[in-house]
Amino acid sequence: MADGEEKTPRGYHDLGGLPAGPVDRSEHVLEPWEKRVDVLCGILVDRKRRLMTIDERRDAIEGLGEDAYNSMKYYELWMAAALKLVLDKGILTRDEIDGRVDEIRARLGLEAGP
């Protein structure tokens, strides 16, 4: 290693070769919200919009923290990363999103969110 180069620990997403148990082969059919997250994230990175890159989304997922990475659902990680980037890039504001979340919850008759 070159002098002065920062020694960075192995990322918690970088799994190749780690000890792990048998592969659980049970599957679930994607729920509608999971598809919507996938499609939205695809639009955000597509050639027409280029609002973010796939690399930024992955980097954002890797930055959510090990507990989040290991406890959140796959498409929750995607949406959390996309949300962070949408805010960081100034595409939408926190107030806009919070306001719309409350409005949607009211519209759907859901309890107030966390």
Partner 1 sequence: MSTNVDDHDHDHARTFVPDEEDSLGQYAIVEMAVRELLIEKGVFSADEFRQGLEVFDKAGPHLGARAVARAWTDPAYKESLLSDGSAAVKEFGVDMNLTELYVVENTPRVHNVIVCTLCSCYPKPLLGAPPDWYKSRNYRSRMVREPRAVLAEFGTTLPDGVEVRVHDSTATMRYMVLPMRPEGTADLTREQLEALVNRDAMIGVTVVPAP
Partner 2 sequence: MTARFAVGDRVRVDDRTPPGHIRTPWYIRGKSGVVADMVGAFADPEDSARGGDGLPERPLYRVRFRQTVAWPDYAGDGRDTVDIEIFEHWLEPESG
Q: How many residues bind partner 1 (CB under 8 A)?
A: 59
- Determine the Cα–Cα distance for residues 62 and 13; give it in Å rounded to an integer: 7
Among 37, 52, 56, 60, binds partner 1 (CB under 8 A): 37
Taking the complex as a whole, the smallest distance from the CB of residue 6 to partner 1 amounts, in Å, to 20
What is 52-101 written as a DSSP string?
S-HHHHHHHHHTS-HHHHHHS-HHHHHHHHHHHHHHHTTSS-HHHHHHHH
- The continuous run of DSSP H or E covering 35 comes out as helix 32-45
Among 4, 9, 22, 90, binds partner 1 (CB under 8 A): 22
- Determine the Cα–Cα distance for residues 92 and 79; give it in Å rounded to an integer: 14
Which one, 4 or 113, has the nearer CB to partner 1?
A: 113
Kindly state whether residue 64 participates in binding partner 1, applying the rule CB under 8 A: no
Which one, 14 or 98, has the nearer CB to partner 2?
A: 14
Kindly state whether residue 76 participates in binding partner 2, applying the rule CB under 8 A: no
Taking the complex as a whole, the smallest distance from the CB of residue 9 to partner 1 amounts, in Å, to 15
User: Could you tell which of partner 1, partner 2, none binds residue 56, using a CB distance below 5 to 8 A set by kind?
Assistant: partner 2
State how far the alpha carbon of 8 is from the alpha carbons of 28, 35, 41, in Å.
36, 35, 29
